[in-house]
Chain A
Amino acid sequence: MENKKELFRWTAGEIKQNKTNPQELILSLDDRINLIEDKVKAFTKKPDVLPDAVPQNSGLLCGIPVSIKDNICVQNEPTTCASKILSGFLAPYDAEVIRRLKVAGAILWGKTNMDEFAFGSSTENSFYGPTKNPHNLDCVPGGSSGGSAAAVAADETIMSLGSDTGGSIRQPASFCGVVGLKPTYGRVSRYGLIAFASSLDQIGPLTKDVRDSALLMNVIAGYDPKDSTSVHVEVPDYSKILGKDLKGLKVGLPKEYFREGMDREVKLAVDEAINILKNKGAKFTEVSLPHTEYAVAVYYIIATAEASSNLARFDGVQYGYRTTNREPRTANRLIDMYKASRGEGFGKEAKRRILLGTFVLSSGYYDAYYLRAQKVRTLIKRDFDEVFKGLDCIITPTSPTAAFKIGEKTDDPLKMYLSDIYTISANLAGIPAISIPCGFNQEGLPIGLQIMAKPFAEETLFKAAFAYEQETNWRRIRPTL
């Protein structure tokens, strides 16, 4: 057992098992944050929980601090999406996941930094400045849930919630050496998640280990009548699947993912993970997902189209940032106000995506871009349906590289977009996928392994991920801060 003074390093599972005093835990985390948050900058709003405000109930997460990505609404708390345009905005209601966390007795442990409106893969596109990778402060933590991943990796929190539209939970989990799960589309309610791309977004857990991931899913998963896209499928007790053996587990290796572009050290780490799983009884076959090469293009059409419409509401009329510039520029003062508020309120990447999305939906271009992208999306989904007829899961790296340097890709959006090349397909197909640590490169940066399964087969992910985790010790390698 670890040093009592380092309670902040514990997992939720360990805290529950040891019946840790929540007040001591909070004080320990507070000290940790005071010590290192200035370096990591994981939070847009640091936790301000008083030790006596700890809930007393028999909920699954009683007394467990959970940090919340700053695009999830918490009643009467600032919810900024790391954007200037939502500065001053207090959410008037709780997201469904927040309601569930409160019922389960969790302590809401601050709001975490992100790429503005989840547009990005590095958490550099934040109005509040970038978050740093706890394993190397010169590197990005990944994104867009970079704050959530970094806070967990740096032991500033016990667990956190992120959102994943094209890899925004899994890629930062991979870069920061933590466990990140994107659930099946419709598994977790989106009510109260400020939408990026409605047909792709899912909320999911970022945790220190697989057991905590299953625990947090037990709380947040399930049908919600307030979200028409949430699905009526029974939620199993995910904790119960942990420890089941892998004998006969049929795993596919999609050949399209193991081609050029993958970092050599990433390839080695993944190969090693495959060997471990083989020894545990998993059977591997090479499979083909022939439309993989179109995924990034399809994604950037559908996601930006939906985003351009979802972000239209940020106009300075009802809430958030409104320009103070009242100089008339055109005959139409209303249009002046819209333009100035949005022009001053949105960052560069947000503007880029709004423009892209507006373009692909414009009359004359709709058929060539949006409609065609939807058709190819169906083909990508069918690729998965087809291979899952004979498989339980698919294994790939989470990202082609480990964390890159801050500033390295900010001038090249295309390069940045390609860092999600392995994660995007799961969102397009609506299937669940998890990223778990599977090693470190020579620079000491974590590498992530991605496991994907068929819709609502999160249990398969937990079973495989837990079995692998039990055979390795990556979680014990903590960043030195």
Chain B
Amino acid sequence: MEYEPVIGLEVHAQLKTKTKAFCGCSTEFGKAPNSQVCPVCLGFPGSLPVLNKTALDYAIKVGLALSCKIEEDTKFDRKNYFYPDLPKNYQISQYDRPLAYAGYLDIQTESGIKRIAIKRVHLEEDAGKLLHEGNDPDSSYVDYNRAGIPLLEIVSEPEINSPFEAYQYLASIKAILKYLDVSDCDMEKGSLRCDANISLREYGEKKLGVKTELKNMNSFKAIKSALDYEIKRQSQILRDGGAIGQQTLLWDAQEEKTHPMRTKEEAHDYRYFPEPDLVPFTFKPDEIQKIKNGLPELPNARLTRFIKEFSLSNYEANILTSDKHLADYFQKCAKNYKNYKNLANWLIGPFLSELNNRKIEPDDIPIAADSLVRLIEITEEGAINNLSAKTALGEMFNSNKSAEVIIKERDLAQISAPGALEDIIKEVISSNEKTVSDYKSGKANALMFLVGQVMKKTKGKANPNIVTEMLKERIQNA
């Protein structure tokens, strides 16, 4: 029997404020352990939190971008539990009155656009980091640099029905956070984290099955793999007539399987109560409106505009707008280059694959838009062929040199003059008699082989169109 997966995602994103949520310490990543701490974020006795207004503004922006309602009277609460990475043994979080609630997010699925409801968005403080190092098995180290960094928790309703949808949902959240410029969303550095709830039910069934909670998924790929794995695991149990046990599972990316967390660690009563060190606060509708008016164009709006303004397909526009910086780059190029379709093909094809191969985020594109446009134009003019253009592009990523310089230095200019090709074509025809006769007897593919031979002898520089024409003519006239 096939089951329908029901998935809810809980996303945590660090906000990229300069200072922490409740003190003036820097949030910079990668500094020496415990070098960015003070009595407040270390939870020293007598210290008191003071809310970082920028963190609050960022959180409201996200709430609005996810079409949430904004709570006008809100407050912080204490979530109480003991763990060494939590300096006060409580986390300042939000419980019953989150900043934003009841929103939604439209994602692209195989069968078109799907709307996923967002349950809540709230602001809290991050914990420190435990490091299990050294020789003493009974000791661990704690780095509190991360403790107190503002963290946004975004919780979806359980309306995601496949690992692919989960992937798309997370990608859309990431895109929005980056469009808003409020988070780095780097899963490797932990500035974007995601937990999942997953249960199965028979198709058509309305009631939810027993869910498990998946943690420790540290990449987009891990989320997909972990969900795939868990769907298989739960299906097998159900098919065998068993029952799913509610538990928390940790994804092991090395072994590609989940391990149950020790049950004792989940038996928490967090004893939430209002944080008495921070006063409740109120948003006036005009303050919210002001933030709303200041929101930038968001991914879905840009997608629609790209389709209209640049006559792109949904597929093309979707890829280009999935990342703010890539979309910005397209727009910059499009200012001086009007063959948008060709531009889109360039960016989605060779350009993105260079980025991916080199693990460069679109935030850090090293080639100026003008330089790329010049390369595209040169190619279009016929000065180099497509193959050489790709070589030149790679070189531009390496060296920061202009297309013209690279073509000259690497001798990539396309050979289009028949005079320069005449001898080579003759030689190829005479040394491939069998192929020539195949072509004559009607095998069209044979000609392509001969073209390939010419290209080989010219080190890829010959103009393939001219070579084809010349070959046809010479064979016919032979």
Contacts and interface: CB of A to CB of B under 8 A. Distances in A.
Contacts of B90: 309, 312
Given A91-B46, A318-B42, A332-B264, A366 B273 contact: yes
A340 to B, nearest CB: 13
Given A309-B90, A313-B88, A362-B269, A227 B44 contact: no
B84 interface: yes
B271 A313 contact: no
B271 A318 contact: no
A194 B42 CA distance: 14
B278 A228 contact: yes
B138 A363 contact: no
Given A194-B46, A317-B84, A229 B277 contact: yes
Given A95-B46, A309-B271, A312-B80, 19 more contacts: A73-B46, A81-B45, A93-B44, A190-B48, A191-B47, A197-B276, A228-B278, A229-B276, A229-B278, A306-B273, A306-B276, A309-B78, A309-B90, A313-B87, A314-B45, A315-B89, A361-B80, A362-B271, A370-B273
Contacts of B84: 315, 317, 334
B49 interface: yes
Contacts, number: 99
A226 B50 contact: yes
Listed residue (A71, A72, A73, A79) with the most chain B CB atoms within 10 angstroms of its CB: A73
A35 to B, nearest CB: 33
B310 to A, nearest CB: 49
A199 B46 contact: no
A193 B264 contact: no
A326 B138 contact: yes
19 contacts: A81-B45, A93-B44, A190-B48, A191-B46, A195-B46, A199-B276, A228-B49, A228-B277, A308-B80, A308-B271, A309-B90, A312-B88, A317-B84, A318-B44, A319-B44, A333-B138, A358-B271, A361-B80, A363-B269
B53 to A, nearest CB: 12
Contact of B271 (A81, A197, A363): A363
A338 interface: yes
Nearest to B278: A228
Contacts of B47: 93, 191-192
A87 interface: no
B445 to A, nearest CB: 70
A73 B45 contact: yes
A333 B132 CA distance: 14
Contact of A193 (B42, B46, B276): B46
Interface of B: 39, 42-51, 78, 80, 82, 84, 87-90, 138, 142, 264, 269, 271-273, 276-279
Nearest to A94: B46
B45 A318 contact: no
Interface string A306-334: 10110011110111000000100000111
A198 interface: yes
Given A306-B276, A362-B271, A370-B273, A312 B50 contact: no
B273 A318 contact: no
A312 B276 contact: no
A332 B86 CA distance: 18
Given A228-B278, A309-B80, A338-B82, A192 B269 contact: no
A35 B42 CA distance: 42
A420 to B, nearest CB: 20
Contact of B44 (A92, A198, A199, A333): A92
A313 B89 contact: yes
Interface string A55-68: 00000000000000
Contacts of A71: 46
A248 interface: no
A95 B45 CA distance: 10
Contacts of B82: 312, 315, 338
B46 A225 contact: no
Contacts of B80: 308-309, 312, 361
B418 to A, nearest CB: 81
Contacts of B42: 318
Among A86, A89, A228, the most chain B Cβ lie within 10 Å of the Cβ of A228
Contacts of A326: 138
A305 interface: yes
Interface string A424-459: 000000000000000000000000000000000000
A313 B45 contact: yes
Query: 5 tightest CB-CB pairs across the interface, nearest first?
Result: A312-B89, A198-B276, A361-B271, A199-B276, A194-B45
Among A81, A195, A314, A317: residue with most chain B CB under 10 A: A317
Contacts of B271: 308-309, 358, 361-363, 366
Contacts of B138: 326, 333
A72 B45 CA distance: 9
A88 B347 CA distance: 63
Contacts of B278: 228-229
Contacts of B49: 228
A306 B273 CA distance: 9
A136 to B, nearest CB: 34
Contacts of A194: 45-46
Nearest to B76: A228
A92 B278 CA distance: 23
Contacts of A313: 43, 45, 87-89
A220 B134 CA distance: 48
Contacts of A89: 45
Nearest to A330: B264
Nearest to A317: B84
Nearest to A335: B82
Interface in A264-308: 305-306, 308
Contacts of A309: 78, 80, 90, 271, 273
Contacts of A192: 46-47
Interface in A152-193: 190-193
Nearest to B44: A92
A290 B49 CA distance: 36
Contacts of B264: 332
A119 to B, nearest CB: 15
A71 B50 CA distance: 21
A319 B87 CA distance: 11
